[in-house]
Amino acid sequence: MTQATIITIGDELLIGQTIDTNSAFIAKELNGIGIWVKRRLAIGDVQEEILNALTTESKACDVVIITGGLGPTGDDITKQVLAEYFNAELRVDEGALQNVKDIFSKLNRPLTERNSKQAEVPDACTVLPNKTGTAPGMWFEKQGVIYVSLPGVPHEMVGLMQDSVIPKLKEQLKLQAIVHKTLLTAGQGESTIADALADFEKNLPEHIKLAYLPAYGMVRLRLTGRGDNMQLLEQETAQQFDQLKDLVKDWMVIDKDMPLEEVVGNLLVEKSKFVATAESCTGGYIAHLITAKSGASTSFKGSVVCYANEAKENVLGVAHGTIIKYGAVSEETIIEMAKGIVYVMNADYAIATSGIMGPKGGTPEKPVGTVWIAVANKEKVVSKKYVFRFDRKRNIEQTALTSLNMLRQFILQEEKE
Amino acid sequence: MTQATIITIGDELLIGQTIDTNSAFIAKELNGIGIWVKRRLAIGDVQEEILNALTTESKACDVVIITGGLGPTGDDITKQVLAEYFNAELRVDEGALQNVKDIFSKLNRPLTERNSKQAEVPDACTVLPNKTGTAPGMWFEKQGVIYVSLPGVPHEMVGLMQDSVIPKLKEQLKLQAIVHKTLLTAGQGESTIADALADFEKNLPEHIKLAYLPAYGMVRLRLTGRGDNMQLLEQETAQQFDQLKDLVKDWMVIDKDMPLEEVVGNLLVEKSKFVATAESCTGGYIAHLITAKSGASTSFKGSVVCYANEAKENVLGVAHGTIIKYGAVSEETIIEMAKGIVYVMNADYAIATSGIMGPKGGTPEKPVGTVWIAVANKEKVVSKKYVFRFDRKRNIEQTALTSLNMLRQFILQEEKE
């Protein structure tokens, strides 16, 4: 099986300034074409460290993907080190230089010498054009190992992976067939699911593996089959996947690798219905999740982030007396918020949230993590209290996803009635 | 200088299902006490790989922090492998068992054998209590190297790092003094700043380093000084920092390591003023940024996410004719949105955004990335058009941060008038 290492270069990763989202993207792309990522390594902008990593990591795998260290500033030395490693000279690539010129002319900025240097590459490489940035991708081969160097800027790296690296790897390597089948469950913990699937997992053939991927009270289950015959592998994996679906049918949200907000969005589009959200404690995060994907306007009207109580009253029409009597975090308030937002936004469905996300603001009666969620249509409201026990960030995320799942169940229940 | 390696264990990192936020947090914490993270390595749940990593990484550093692979499911083997590596036996730790029992009794869930096993640890370790989860932290020492194993669940890891690991490392190691000084700039690219700072950087003493940390059109500049005498080091670094501040004074937002939304929040609190946002293209992301930190209610009233045009009209009072004549992404509409939200939310300041974030929806006149931003108070509106050239996610983030910076400048300008 073809194996890869991802090396990310840059002190910003080692000091914790930057969260490495690139490696996850690259790993997912490589996995998708059947290349197993064996290791991911982050190192600093240090010549010796980079040379050492290139030597060591290339022994254990067939493909080395390197990101970062290609910027115009002095601390970026990846290109120089690559030139040394491949016994190459830096030379200007005319295509890359034209690209740098085009970008600066579009931006109406003068081209400095520092920027022009971005077009220099080691002469041992094949240049991979970067459509959205000045640093070109570079493809090297040495003793049967493929090395690809990409810029660390996420959208530039993404473009290069999709446009050049993945197609070129598929073309050049004889890749083992790989099949992924993923489903999403909600409402059960990892260990309960693991107990229910113990026998299934034991009886899986050697070349099909089950993975548990928990996040925010939901668990993704993924079967990965590997083999030489794609057609046979697809059949086998599909058969096992049918068994798996049956075993978790009570908790299954969808039999695809799809985020919950998209599942809900599709359900709404299917019914030509629109949702709106009234968000106190989630502070706009649900709206952000829904609108993170292009096309949200076909199922989403909008949101009122009613952080201040007066916004709950003035914009959503929650009665002043309700908030005074029961508090902002209460069943009474959340129901009025849900009813209000349906009408204010002229929506078919509503989600409303109000809670104490922490770390401050808790009381003995309403500790940090207490949250009321309501979902509604024009006639009916369903509300529920939860107590989450995480940090602020995760409490917000958990509230958002729980409320989306409540809406999904509300819509499915409606169908039955 | 004390050096560390962070090893994260888990197939989910190698298949790209999970973004590794733990390593960044751990790196930041270690950096803060003067431990340099030399390498970060991610490997799978494979015995041989884990043993190999423990052996190799411990040769190059003094501290090895390991996260992940401590869950209750069968694919988590870190504990077994640690036992083997340290020639130890797994035994039940009574304190850890009590903790597991307490958690399950609080959750009102029956304790399974699988869960109880979480309290088993290799008898060569010191147990670090986990206040928020079932898997205890483990501290080992072998041939002068400290190994710490932590659960991969972020909030559990965070608690253990802060409560146990950092204090214990400080106590046990003689750490070199370290001083960080960070400032935030906006409005200039990395290479222009680098040109302006070329001489400054060249003249820095060997033990003080300058780092460029660019993100979303803003660049953080960080000086890191290392030495033996903390007092002297603080003086030296502060002197250099003063020079640096002077050199970038035209672009400096704040001379601290503080996110822009917090800078703006503090500015508002100082003036006892409130902001509200009217978000079309940012879809609630600005509100989410502002409310991600506890205490936002002292400067934030709320937001109307007016994704549908009817929400712009019905909730914010944008004239139907304005949208018909000029379009939703226009100066005329954005000005009415900004004026509307100030009144609807009874706020002192407003931010309004409307744009085409992509990948779909662009036209020749208004290509993807076109965005109108307005900031306002009750008397005055300032609006500006931008064309960003990133992917959807980054266009949204860039719009949010640009608008927060526009508001900051608007408030500072007001002071001058």
Q: Does B305 touch chain A (CB under 8 A)?
A: yes
CA–CA dist B273, B413 (Å, integer): 15
Pick from A177, A257, A260: nearest CA to A217? A260
- With an 8 Å Cβ cutoff, are B357 and A25 in contact? no
Nearest CA in chain B to A182: B17
- With an 8 Å Cβ cutoff, are A305 and B302 in contact? yes
Q: Which residue segments constitute the domains of chain A, with CATH numbers given? A: 3-172 (3.40.980.10), 177-254 (3.30.70.2860), 260-416 (3.90.950.20)
CA–CA dist A341, A276 (Å, integer): 7
Question: Which residue of B288, B348, B356, B387 to mutate against A (max A Cβ within 10 Å)?
Answer: B288
Q: Which residues pair with B182 in a beta bridge?
A: B222
Q: Which residues pair with B279 in a beta bridge?
A: B305, B353
CA–CA dist A319, A341 (Å, integer): 14
Which structure tokens are listed for A293?
Answer: 């994907």
Q: Is A187 exposed, middle or buried (0-12, 13-18, 19+ CB in 10 A)?
A: middle
Q: Does A295 touch chain B (CB under 8 A)?
A: yes
Q: Is A160 exposed, middle or buried (0-12, 13-18, 19+ CB in 10 A)?
A: buried
What single DSSP character describes residue A128?
A: E
What is the ipTM metric for this complex? Answer: 0.86
Nearest CA in chain A to B362: A294
- At residue A75, does pLDDT exceed 80? no
Which structure tokens are listed for A382?
Answer: 């369903």
Q: Does B216 touch chain A (CB under 8 A)?
A: no
CB atoms within 10 A of CB A174: 6
Chain A residues closer than 8 Å to B307 by CB: 287, 291, 296-297, 300-303
Per-residue pLDDT of chain B (417 residues; tens, 9 = 90+): 899 999 999 988 898 877 889 999 999 999 888 899 999 999 999 999 999 999 999 998 999 999 998 987 777 899 999 999 999 999 999 999 999 999 888 877 888 888 889 999 999 999 999 988 899 999 999 999 999 999 998 889 999 999 999 999 999 998 888 898 999 999 888 888 999 999 999 999 999 999 888 777 789 999 999 898 999 999 999 999 999 999 999 999 999 999 999 999 999 999 999 999 999 999 999 999 999 999 999 999 999 999 999 999 999 999 999 999 999 999 999 999 999 999 999 999 999 999 999 999 999 999 999 999 999 999 999 999 999 988 899 899 999 999 999 999 999 999 888
8 A C-beta contact, residue A389 and residue B132: yes
Residues A228-273 have pLDDT tens digits of 899 999 999 999 999 999 999 999 999 999 999 999 999 999 999 9
Rg of chain A over all Cα atoms, to the nearest angstrom? 26
Q: Does B61 touch chain A (CB under 8 A)?
A: no
- Whether the upstream peptide bond of residue B72 has omega within 30° of 0, thus cis, is no
Q: Does B129 touch chain A (CB under 8 A)?
A: no
- The pTM for the full model equals 0.87
Question: Which residue of B17, B36, B118, B390 to mutate against A (max A Cβ within 10 Å)?
Answer: B17
Rg of chain B over all Cα atoms, to the nearest angstrom? 26
